[in-house]
Structure 1
Amino acid sequence: MADPLERAIIRALEVSLTAAGLSLADLFSAIPPEYRALLGSFFFACNQIMVRRLTERASPLTVTIMINFWMSVTALFLVPFSDSFDGSLAQAFLFFVGVGLLGQGAARFLAYGSNKLIGVGRTNAVVAASPIGASMMGALILGERPAVEVWVGIALIVAGLVFLTSDKG
């Protein structure tokens, strides 16, 4: 439960946004995509540190289940306010389950197990290679054609993270 000060701040924000004719979804959609991605990476980094602390007290499987549960609760709360789906509800549900089992379930379980065995820094250096896989899958499945600059940027990010998290870095 939020304390009175937090509730007052949240209420003031809601009133200010409503007076300006904006909703919370409008506020977030006004942020440029690059900044949203940067904010996402910051929050994901904070998440990884908290996960490392959790795996000191619980198994990677337990942590994966707990995090996926709370992510689902959060998503179910936010979707009606910020998203819609045009198409078959059954198809949307199957996509959601597939992403949850593969991306959130298996990938997180393996990454959390690695966090416990080799540490957050080394695990994240390996996980940092995911932009390469994401770009390749985007090209294969979605038909995206990343420019050379995108590939160079991905390589530099991965190389930088590997360098920063190595024993010598």
Structure 2
Amino acid sequence: MADQQVLDDFFARAKTALDLPAATYEDAYQLGGPEFADELAALVKNGQKTATTSGFELYTIEQDPLPIAGVYNIILDRQDRPVALTYTDNVFVTPFAKVDATIARREGEGSKSLASWRKIHEDFFRNEYHANGIQFDSVSSMVVVEEFHTVFPIVQTR
């Protein structure tokens, strides 16, 4: 688990850099679990990853609230060190099968194609659902899509 003081210090630096006097952050987390956390955090940090998808049914099992738009989150690396601060622009729930090429490209992983996204995420969700005693179905299972942008460190656009 990430050290609270380290998270607070990281957020304080971001607030100063962005001039956000009253802002707070909602959560601090790794993307994709420990085996993918460094790679995905780097994609977020450099602005290549601007969306993430999670299994809707897992929120019910774990009794976690769904993500919400309009909040800041800290993205962590594998060692739970803060790497980037994001701002969530949009959150929606959709069937896995309805995720389109735009979301696949925004996820920033692999070839950024829809076919690559489906393969990577279907394998990931099957494992995650199985670990929680439920079955993932690529036709009927729902996913939560979060669209965000990196605000700190400040991403240089070309």
* TM-score (normalizing by structure 2): 0.25
Higher helix share: 1
Higher strand share: 2
